[in-house]
Amino acid sequence: MKKPRILVTGALGQIGSELVPKLRKIYSNENVIATDIKEKPIEGLLAGPFKIVDVRKKEQVEEIVKKYDIKVICHFASILSAVGEKNPELAWDVNINGLRNILSVAKNNSLKVFWPSSIAVFGPKTPKKAPQDTILQPATMYGITKVSGELLCRYYKNRYSIDIRILRFPGIISYKTLPGGGTTDYAVEIFYEAIKKKKYICFVKSNTILPMMYMPDCIKSIIQLIQIDSSKLRSCCYNIAGMSFSVEELVGEIRKHMVEFECTYKPDFRQKIADSWPKWIDDQEAKDDWQWKPDYDLTTMTKDMLKKIKGKLK
């Protein structure tokens, strides 16, 4: 059976840079086309095709789709929460106009689309354990673009019968790619600073609890959802969870391996964003529909992060 060709936008970002190599192991190097607005691919993406594409320009997306006979688009090009608050017009332009172009090209070429939503769709009125169907009144431009994006995706799915699949991700923790301007970036920065300086100044309070997921589980969930037969899916959009912990719980876990590590706290504008999000995610529908189950918890993730970052820095 012929393997489908997959286009990944935002391939140099935190998720895209790790998803592309995994997809290439499954579908072969030449069948996964990595794209980004940046000019030079990182080392891990050199094994297969890489092209410069601005998703705000529909003709560029259309050209790549036709040239490579694309069947699936994984659309990750996005402006994240903290950067989005500093430049809300850019966040809307990239996140909404870019997504609209992807969906329009998918409609014209009968493509399957995967798009990541976020816990940013929730807001202060959302229950602190966010259910699948709940109040979506985000307090950030990033969250507004994610709610608008979910509605746009549902419209294209219902109006044009496009196969669209969405995961509402928590904060993603990875040792390979440095943070890209998100509110949950502290959960990555803290590991690097612990190893390099034995101390860290955190931009949210010690008792701040947020949902998180380790990158291997993130990649696993995307591939599972892309591959599952559509007949098994009740929805096009799923909550998905990994673990939830406070900053002080994370600090305590790091100290089990590095007793000298010290963390101090200097909350900035990102504290208000974090306070608007839920503390836990209810992903029962993902568990029911496609047997979702994460492999990592706080203890195993912390141990692996420290090991991998130490190796990387050497």
Measure the CA–CA gap between 253 and 240, rounded to whole angstroms.
23
Measure the CA–CA gap between 286 and 288, rounded to whole angstroms.
5
Q: How many CA atoms, within 13 angstroms, populate the side-chain half-sphere of residue 252?
A: 9
Measure the CA–CA gap between 78 and 169, rounded to whole angstroms.
14
Q: How many CA atoms, within 13 angstroms, populate the side-chain half-sphere of residue 90?
A: 12
183: nearest Cα among 164, 165, 170: 170
Angle subtended at Cα 83 by Cα 14 and Cα 194, rounded to the nearest 5 degrees: 55
Catalytic, 186? Answer no
Give 24's contacts (C-beta < 8 A, 6+ positions apart).
Answer: 31, 32, 47, 48
| Of 68, 142, 160, 186, catalytic | 142
Q: Cβ of 120: how many Cβ atoms within 10 Å?
A: 28
Kindly give the residue spans of alpha helices, DSSP state H, lying in the chain: 16-27, 58-68, 81-86, 88-92, 98-109, 141-160, 186-197, 215-227, 247-255, 270-275, 284-290, 298-313
Q: Cβ of 234: how many Cβ atoms within 10 Å?
A: 9
Parallel/antiparallel/unpaired status of strands 171-173 and 50-52: unpaired
CB 281 within 8 A of CB 241: yes
| Segment holding 168, helix H or strand E | strand 164-169
Measure the CA–CA gap between 29 and 60, rounded to whole angstroms.
21
Query: What are the residue numbers of the active site?
Result: 142
